[in-house]
Structure 1
Amino acid sequence: MSFKTADLYDQHGDNLRVCEPIFRDFGGISHFHGQIVTVKCFEDNSLVKSTLAEPGAGRVLVVDAGGSRRCAMLGDLIAASAVEQGWAGVVLFGCVRDTVEIGQMSLGIKALASIPRKSERRGEGQRDIPVTFAGVRFAPGDHIYCDEDGILVADRAL
């Protein structure tokens, strides 16, 4: 599907939620979309790693990492696993690392910033629950559309 978020907004604005412009592109693809899977975790990327190790089938993982800028929740090894498993992208309310490597991967990644410090792994977090950040509610099964202009969320595929 070829799209521009600006055009989607012009056509479906009343049915879309628009994220605040707080994200940067880090993946090798800046234009991606898919059905949403959610994870909520704070400075523990265990659930991010295990979720992206599952078949993605073109879905997008939306991670509420609490906006922490103290550690990275995604790096090159986990991103490579996501590519192998067929995920379209990751929207991360937190940080990434290994930006040169992930910038060369066929994966869309939007995050707040980069930092070299890795997260802890304590096996904590929740999956497949509604999460809210950047002024938007994301629910499992919603659809997300991302490009250089921003992020849109819809209750159904457009």
Structure 2
Amino acid sequence: MPTIITPDICDAFPGVQVVEPLFANFGGMDAFHGAVRTIKCFEDNSLVKQAVAEAGNGAVLVVDAGGSPRCAMLGDMLAEQAVENGWAGIVMYGCVRDVDVLATLPLGVQALGSHPRKSEKRGEGQRDITLSFAGVTISPDDWLYADNNGILIADHELALDQR
């Protein structure tokens, strides 16, 4: 697997979208990438729970949680399930919790912040739709590349040098 260095990717592929620098790294993997799968939900992580229970096949789950600072949309149990099911990472436009455990897992996790309260479970939200937040538009099957420098979105898999 190539090493993900987002500044180098930006230099080599100037057309990639750059997500606004709002996110912090909470996962055990500083760098991750994969095809995008999307969820839009607000203070209800039912669809996140459903998605991480499915085979990830190296994909990245991108969740538009409306940027809510009032509850966490991902915690240790769902993150552990994501690892077990082969997800490369999760980008949460919202909060996460159990951050000490998240930091030990072989999963990329970037989020706006942490919050100790869990979300509701009402079964609300949408999957596999185009999302717009943090200055970018993200569609299912786009490719996401992330490291401690930032998050990039490309409309196809990029041919990265093996490092």
Which of the five TM-score ranges fits, normalised by the shorter chain? over 0.9
Which amino acid counterpart does residue 93 of structure 2 have in structure 1?
A: F
Aligned to 2:161: none
Q: How far apart, in 1, do the equivalents of 2:77 and 2:22 lie?
A: 25
Number of residues of Structure 1 aligned to a counterpart in Structure 2:
157
Ranges in structure 2 where 5+ consecutive residues have no aligned partner: 159-163
2:52 aligned with 1:52, yes or no?
Answer: yes
TM-superposition CA deviations, 1:10-64 (whole Å, max 9, x none): 0111x20000000000000110000000000000000001001100000000000
Q: CA deviation at 1:3?
A: 2.6
Aligned position for 2:13: 12
Work out the CA distance in 1 between the residues paired with 2:111 and 2:48. 14
Are 1:38 and 2:38 counterparts? yes
Contact residue 47 and residue 125 of structure 2 kept, 8 A: yes
Query: For 1:96-115, what aligned pairs fall within 5 Å after superposition?
Result: 96-115=96-115
Counterpart contact for 2:4–2:32, Cα < 8 Å: no
Q: TM-score, normalised by structure 2?
A: 0.95
Q: Which amino acid aligns with 2:127?
A: R
Q: Which runs of 4+ in 1 moved over 3 A?
A: none
SS of the residue corresponding to residue 7 of structure 2 reads: helix
What secondary structure is seen at the aligned counterpart in 2 of 1:100?
Answer: helix
Q: TM-score, normalised by structure 1?
A: 0.98
CA RMSD of aligned residues (A): 0.5
State the percentage of identical aligned residues: 57
